[in-house]
Amino acid sequence: MIFSSAVPANVRAPIAVTRYLAGRFTYYNETQWAEIVREGRISINGARCGETGSVAAKDTVSYEPKEFEEPAADLSYKIIYEDEWMLCVNKPGNLLVHRAGKSFRNNLVYQLRHASEPPYPGCRPVHRLDRGTSGAVLVAKDSEQGAVFGKLFSENQVTKRYKAVVRGRPNLATPFTIDAPIAVDGNPGGPCKFRADAGGKPACTVVEGVERFDNGLSLLAVRPITGRTHQIRVHLASIGLPVVGDKVYGGGEDGGINGIDTIQRQALHCESLSFTHPHTNSILEIRAELPEDILCMIENHISLI
């Protein structure tokens, strides 16, 4: 199988193909990409390139990998809404939205374009969820609709609601708001990529509901107002309610509470997307059911008042 990608428009001057590949596809360094070029497995605009090959904006670079085993992924996604312009997918909790690392096929975009029946060859997600976050992902059917629906997200016209299982039982009346700027974590040795910090970008999350359980966990209904990277996970951890299973911000390897509950990813789920449809002008709410791994964590425990 051959994988191809277009060189972005911001790559103005020709640069060495090995430098370009190492900068964009970081699972190999420049020396390793040079070896792949020498093996004849890199093409530019359909022609095999040599060691001195270079690329610029709008070139197409193709890579023919050797046989390899991709990282495991949960491919049990479900299409929960579709019209002539877009579709919405309920993404499982161990699936990338876009290709990353060696997950060439085991990502939502590839599966929709090439493995779905029917396939959606021109589709493109207009927002993203982390690999370990499940729930609703809106996918445009082509680039034109990608711009149309992407504008809804960029202009904050989409209401997103999440469910999160957290450690702790907050004694706070709902709704309550976490209004804390988020900054990139400047500590290169630390595990966190972002942190709540007064010097960061404005970020606001509303916790709309809390259901407390007898095992020390709570189920929160959460609505992010802004859309910062990792916002919900960072905000909840900052007030002492880390998302269960979050290895980056949760401080734990799994979701275990005294060995009772386990989960293999962060217990965060995008439950619904609501917006005014740009083509029909009707209000649309798309809901994604909670997945089995989160349901299993809470269904056997008593809900406390």
Q: What is the set of active-site residues?
A: 130
DSSP state, 70?
P
CB 284 within 8 A of CB 276: yes
Q: How many CB atoms lie within 10 A of CB 176?
A: 13
Let me know if 75 is exposed, middle or buried by CB neighbors in 10 A (0-12, 13-18, 19+): middle
Relative orientation angle of helices 30-38 and 17-24, to the nearest 10 degrees: 130
Of 294, 300, 177, 182, nearest in space to 245 by CA: 294
Alpha-carbon gap, residue 77 to 288, rounded angstroms = 11
Alpha-carbon gap, residue 145 to 134, rounded angstroms = 23
Alpha-carbon gap, residue 58 to 13, rounded angstroms = 11
Q: How many CB atoms lie within 10 A of CB 94?
A: 18
CB 289 within 8 A of CB 155: no
- Tell me the pairing of strands 47-48 and 42-44: antiparallel
Quote the Cα angle for 126-247-182, to 5°.
55
